[in-house]
Structure 1
Amino acid sequence: MKKINKNCLKNHSSLICNICGSNNIYRIYIRKQNNNLYRCLNCNLIFIHPQLSIKELKSIYSKIYFKNNDSQVCGYQNYIGDKSNIIKTSEKRIKDILKIYPNKGKILDIGCATGFFLESAKRAGLDVYGVDISNYAVSMVRKDLRKNIYQGLFLEYDFPDEYFDIITAWDYIEHSLDPKQDIQKAYRLLKKSGLLVLATPDIDSLPARIMKDKWMGFKDIEHLFFFSKRTIKKIIQDVDFCIIKQKYIGKYIDVRFFIKRMEIYSIFLSKILKFFIPKVLLSTSIYVNPRDILCVYIRKKK
C-alpha cells in the first residue's frame, strides 16, 4: 500500500462521504487491489473506492472465508475450530452488556456469523435473533437457534419498530455497504432506552498509527470503512442516540495463533516466541487486547 505525498493530494469531489455527505474527499493510499483509500476532510471518515457491489460482497463470505491460510488479508484461519475461544470471548462481552443493561429481553446480533455469540446470549437468558450475509455461516448456526436467524443484508430484513432491547454489531460496521443507514435502522428497531453495542477497528488507535499499512485493521478485501472515536460519534448524531461508554476490547486466542499473527509484524520475534514457548502451551487460551478494537455502548434516548 503506497501513501500519497500530501503535496500531491487530489480532490475527488465526485465521491460523497457516507457519514456527513461532504464531497471534500481526497485519496490517501493507493492499494494493489485498486480499491484505494480515501479520506473525508470534513468528518475524517476513511473508506475504500470503488466500493464493492452487493454481489461482490456476498461472494466474499463463502466457506473459504471462515477457514483459510491468508487470514491477515481476508477472513479467518479457522473460525469453526476456534469456537471455544469465541464462546469465551462472547461470554465476557455478554457480562459487560448486562452490567449496563440488566433488563433481559430480545437481542439482535448483526453479522452473527455461525451464531456463537448468540449461543452465549441465550445461555444468559436473552431471546436471540441474528442476521448475516453469509449463507454458509447461517447454515452452521445451531439448529435450535435457526428459526430467528436471517441470511442476507441487515437492510434487507425488517422487524417491527422498537422490537429489540439490545442490538450488537461485533466487527460489522466496517464491512457494511451503508453504515449510516444501518445505524438509522438500528435506532428504529430499538426500544426506548435500548442499547446498541458497536465494535470496530479504530484507525486512530496507537497500534494503527504505529503499524501503518501492516495494521490488521487494513484488511485488503472486506473492510470497506475505517472508523475512529470521532467518526463513530459523528455517525450517531442524526439519530437520538447517546454514547454511555467506550473502551478497547480484546478476545481469547490460542498461543499458537498469537505467534503466527506476530509474523506479520516481526518474523524474528515470532521465531523467538516459537523457540522458547513449550509446545504443550501452544493450545493455551489467553486474553489479548492490543487496544485497537473500539467498543462503543450507545443508548437510545427516551
Structure 2
Amino acid sequence: MEFVACNLCGSSRARLRFPSTLARRRSRAPDFRCTSDGYGIHPPIVQCLECGLVYTNPRYETAEITETYRAMEDPLYVLEREGRVLTFERHLRPIEQLLGPGRGRRLLDVGCHVGVFLEIAQAHGWEAWGVEPSRWAVEVARSRGLRVVEGTLREAAFPEAWFDVVTMWDVIEHLSDPMGELREIHRILKPGGWVVIHTMDIESPFARLLGPRWPWLMEMHLYYFSRRTLQHMLERAGFRFHHAAAEGRYLRLGYLATRVRALFPTLGALLSRLVRAARLECLPVYINLGDLFTAYACKPE
C-alpha cells in the first residue's frame, strides 16, 4: 500500500470519510472486474481538506493496479452485452446532439474494454478507436474487427491533436493519476475537441442518503468525484467545462437481481426467484438513481 497526496490540488491534508472494510473481504482474490459485486469492501476513503476531492488513501501501488487490469478477464461482461448496447446508444445520443453526427471524425474511448461503445460509434459514422489494458478484453475487441490499442493511454502514445472526441465511461474512478490522464487527453485532442466522462457522484442525494452503504464504495475505485471536483480537475487540465448531467444505465433484470442480492441477500434472493419464475431475466430495465453523471468539456481553440 502507498500513501498519496490529493490528485486535484496536491494537498496531503485529509479527513477520513469511510474507514477501511477490507477485513470483510470474501475468501477470494481482490476483484477488479467491471462486473464485480464486491460492494462495500474498500480501503480507507478520505476527503481532501483543501479542495474536497474524495479518494482512497492509502491504496495499492500503481504498478500492482496496472498489472491487475492487464490480467483481468470478465466473461460476464460479454454475457450482459444487450444492456451495454442500450446504455451506450443512450450515451452517444447527447454527444451527437451537441457535436453533430460522426461523419468520419475520429473518436477515442479510453478503457474501452471489449469495445461495445466503439461498435456503436462506428455504426454512427465515427472513426472509432479504443485503448484498453486488459489483454483478454483487447483480444475480444479485435476479434470483432475493432481498432483497439493494448495498454494505457500514455503507452499508446497517440499523435498530438489527433482526436475530435475522447470518452471515458466508468473509467476515471479507476485511474491512479486522473489529472495526468486528462492532461494527456488534452494533448491528443484537436483544438475545439471534446472530452466526455461518465462516473459516480459521491455528493448526489442518493449517495448521501446511503452513506457507507452506497454500493459504489468498492475496492477497485480509487477516486470518488462530485460534479464540482470533476469540473475543477477538467479546468486545471486545460479544458473549458460545458455541463454535467445525471445519466443512468440499462441492466437485464436477471443481472440486476444479482446486484441486489450482493447488497441485500434476502431481498435479492427473492427477486431472483421471481424474475426466473416470470422468465424475465433478459428484460432490459433503465436505472437512474441520480448518482451517476456525465460531464462534457472542450479543449479551447
Give the TM-score band, short-chain normalised. 0.7 to 0.9
> Counterpart of 1:189?
188
Q: Measured at CA, do residues 172 and 236 of structure 1 come closer, stay the same or move farther in structure 2, by a change above 3 Å?
A: same
After TM superposition, the structure 1 = structure 2 runs for residues 101-116 of structure 1, keeping only pairs within 5 Å, are 101-102=99-100, 104=102, 105-116=105-116
1:273 & 1:140 partners in 2: Cα distance?
32
Q: Measured at CA, do residues 242 and 264 of structure 1 come closer, stay the same or move farther in structure 2, by a change above 3 Å?
A: same
Q: 1:57 aligns with which of 65, 78, 81?
A: 65
Aligned to 1:231, what secondary structure does the other structure show? Answer: helix
Deviation at 1:52, TM superposition (A): 2.4
TM-score, normalised on structure 1?
0.84
> Counterpart of 1:179?
178
Q: Measured at CA, do residues 52 and 275 of structure 1 come closer, stay the same or move farther in structure 2, by a change above 3 Å?
A: closer
> Counterpart of 1:137?
137
CA contact (8 A) 2:199 2:294 kept: yes
Deviation at 1:245, TM superposition (A): 2.3
Question: Which portions of structure 1, spanning 4 or more consecutive aligned residues, are displaced by more than 6 angstroms?
Answer: none
Q: Which runs of 5+ in 2 are unaligned?
A: 23-41
Q: Measured at CA, do residues 276 and 16 of structure 1 come closer, stay the same or move farther in structure 2, by a change above 3 Å?
A: closer
Deviation at 1:190, TM superposition (A): 1.0
Deviation at 1:276, TM superposition (A): 5.2
> Counterpart of 2:281?
282
Deviation at 1:137, TM superposition (A): 0.8
1:80 & 1:232 partners in 2: Cα distance?
30
Stretch deviating more after TM superposition (237-246 or 42-51): 237-246
Deviation at 1:258, TM superposition (A): 1.9
> Counterpart of 2:15?
26
> Counterpart of 2:224?
226
Q: How many residues align?
A: 277
Tell me: higher relative CO, structure 1 or 2? Use CA pairs within 8 A at least 6 residues apart. 2
Q: Which runs of 5+ in 1 are unaligned?
A: 1-13, 68-77
1:144 & 1:279 partners in 2: Cα distance?
34
TM-score, normalised on structure 2?
0.85
Deviation at 1:53, TM superposition (A): 2.6
Provide Cα deviations, 1:92-114, integer angstroms capped at 9, x if missing partner. 21122111111520000000000
- The one-letter amino acid of 1:101's match is L
- The one-letter amino acid of 1:120's match is I
Q: 1:246 aligns with which of 244, 247, 254?
A: 244
The percent identity for this pair of structures is 27
Q: Measured at CA, do residues 36 and 165 of structure 1 come closer, stay the same or move farther in structure 2, by a change above 3 Å?
A: same
Aligned to 2:141, what secondary structure does the other structure show? Answer: coil
Aligned to 1:247, what secondary structure does the other structure show? Answer: strand
Aligned to 1:219, what secondary structure does the other structure show? Answer: coil
CA contact (8 A) 1:15 1:25 kept: no
Q: Measured at CA, do residues 181 and 64 of structure 1 come closer, stay the same or move farther in structure 2, by a change above 3 Å?
A: closer
Deviation at 1:57, TM superposition (A): 1.3
